[in-house]
Amino acid sequence: MMIKRRMLGPVLLSAGLLACGVNPVTKQHEFQFVSQDKEIQLGQQNYSPARQSQGGDYTLDAELTRYVQQVGQKLAAVSDRPDLPYEFVVLNDSVPNAWAMPGGKIAFNRGLLYELHSEAELAAVLGHEIVHAAARHGAKSMERGVFLQGAMLAVGLATRDSNYANMVVGGAQLGGQLISSKYGRDAESEADHYGMKYMKLAGYDPAAAVTLQETFVRLSAGNRQDFMSGLFASHPPSQERVDLNKQTLQALGAGGEMGKEVYAQQVARLMSTREAYKAYDEGKAALQKGDADKARNLANKALSIEPREARFQELLGDIALSKKNTTEALAFYDKAIQMQPGYFKPYVQSGIALFNEGKKAQAEPFLKKANALLPTAPGYALLGQIAEGRGETALALQHYQLAASSDSEIGKEAAGRAMRIDLPRNPARYLPAGPLADNTGMVYAAVQNSSSVPVGRVQVRMLQYDSHGRLVNQTRSMLITGGIAPGKRGSVATGFRIQDQAALQFFRVVVEGAELAN
C-alpha cells in the first residue's frame, strides 16, 4: 500500500504541472488544459464553417479585405502572441459584429464597417479581438466547461435566414458556440486594455478606442436592434468600460495615427452599395412574412445597385421556390453559385428544389457539396432519404443521426427516421426492460417504449439468477403483442412467482427483438 502512495504523488504532481501555465498576455498563472496546438487546431477546423454560417465571405471588394487584413496583421505583429497563425476576413453580414476564435482566427462583419469612421477605430475593434485570441479567452471558456456540457446544439447560430437557424450539425456546431459566447467582464476589460496597448505599439491613437466605446454606449441606449443582436450580445458596452478605457489612455498617452481619410477611401465602394444590402435585408424579412411580391421588388432594387452580388440572386431563388417555381428558382441559384461558388446556401436550396421535384439523383451532388461547406440538418436529412430509397440503410442511418443533432423540426423528424431504421436492429437501445410483479406474486417482463415511434410486437426473455449471480433459470422467447405507443409500457406474464418484491432483484429481462407498428 505504501508503494502505491509513493507512486501516486509524482503522477498527480506531473498532471498539475501540465495543467498550469502563464497567460501570454496578462502574465498571470492559470490552469491551462487546452494547449496552443489544440487552440490552433480548433480555430483551423471551425473558422470556415463559422464563416459560412454567418453569411459567407464578402468577396466583391478584395481590396477592402486586404486592407482589413493589413491592419489586423499590423496589430498582431505587436501582440503578445505574434506567432499565432492570425487570419482576418470580412463577412457578408449586415449585422454589426466581429468575433475571434482560438488560434487567431478573426472575422469582421460588413455591417460593422459601416459604423466606423477611421482606421484607428478599425484597429480598436481588431485589437480587441486579437486580445481575445492571444489571451486564450475562448480556450479558457472551454477549460471551464462552457462548450463541453452535453450536446452542442448551436443555439443562436444562424445564417441570418430563419430557414437555417439552429440547423448546423456535426463538428461545425462547436464553431457556433466559439463565436457566440459572451465573455465575462474580466475578459472584456483585458481585451479593451491590451487592445489599446497594441494600438499604441502599432502607431495608432488609442483615443479612438475611447470614442468608439462611447459611441457604442450611445447606440446601446438607443436599443438599435442590429447592434443588440450582434456586437452588443457578446461584447456589451457600458460606461464602466468607457471609464476604464480613459484610464488606459491616460497611462498610454494619446497620439498616433487616426487614418480618417484612408479609411474613407477604403470603404468608399462598400458605402456606395449600402442601400443595396439594406434592400436585400428588407427583402429577406418580407419573404419571411410571406410577402413575395415586396421581396422580389426589393431584391431587384438591390441588384440594380450591385448586380454582382450572389446573395441577391439567391434571394430571388428563394422567392421563386416559395411560389413553387422550381425551374426559375434553380436558374437563380445557379447564378448565385457561378458568382460565388464557395457559399453553401444556393447548393442546399438547389438540392431541396430538385428533391421536391422527385429528381433525387440530381439533388444528391448539390446536397453533398452544401454539406462539405456547412453541414446542415436539411442536407443530411434529404441525403438520408435518398440513401434509404436506394436500400442503403446503414448510410441512411448515419445521415439521419447527423441531422438529428440539430435543434430543429427537421432534426426531430430525422431522429424519428433514424429510430425506425435502428430500433429493429438494436431494440434494447430504445426499449428499456425489467421485471415487475403483481399483488399475487406473478412476475411479468415489462418493456417501456422510450422512442418516438410506435412499436408492434416485442420479443423478450426472462432470466433468473441466484444470490451469487449465477444463471439458474430462463424462459423461452415470449412476445408482447398489441403494440406499445411512445412513452407507454407493455408486459407479458413469465410464469414465475415470488413471495416478496425483494426477489425481483434476481430477475433480468432481455429484449431480443422488436417490430415497428404498421
Catalytic residue among 129, 188, 309, 364: 129
Rounded Cα–Cα distance for residues 13 and 84 (Å): 29
Instruction: Enumerate the β-bridge partners of residue 509.
Output: 462
Q: Would you state the cell numbers that stand for residue 212, as one nine-digit string?
A: 468608439
Q: Would you state the cell numbers that stand for residue 122, as one nine-digit string?
A: 478599425
Do residues 459 and 478 make contact, with C-beta atoms less than 8 angstroms apart?
yes
| 3-state SS record for 215-235 | HHHHHHHCCCHHHHHCHHHHC
- Which phi and psi (to 5°) does residue 502 adopt? -60, -25
The residue type at 495: G
Instruction: Enumerate the β-bridge partners of residue 165.
Output: none
Report in angstroms the alpha-carbon separations of 100 from 127, 184, 292, 375.
11, 15, 36, 21
**Angle CA 350–399–395, to nearest 5:** 115
- CB-side exposure of 508: number of CA atoms within 13 Å? 12
| DSSP for residue 57 | B
Rounded Cα–Cα distance for residues 310 and 44 (Å): 26
* Per-residue exposure over 403-423, b if at least 16 CB sit within 10 Å of its own CB, e if not: bbbbbbebbebbbebbbbbbb
- Which phi and psi (to 5°) does residue 257 adopt? -75, 135
| DSSP for residue 500 | S
Q: In 3-state terms, what secondary structure has residue 42?
A: helix
Whether 129 sits among the annotated catalytic residues: the reply is yes
CA 292 from chain center: how many Å?
29
Report in angstroms the alpha-carbon separations of 372 from 44, 89, 332, 421.
15, 20, 21, 25
Residues in contact with 151: Cβ distance below 8 Å, sequence separation at least 6, in sequence order: 405
Kind and range of the H or E run holding 212: helix 207-221
**Residues designated as active site:** 129
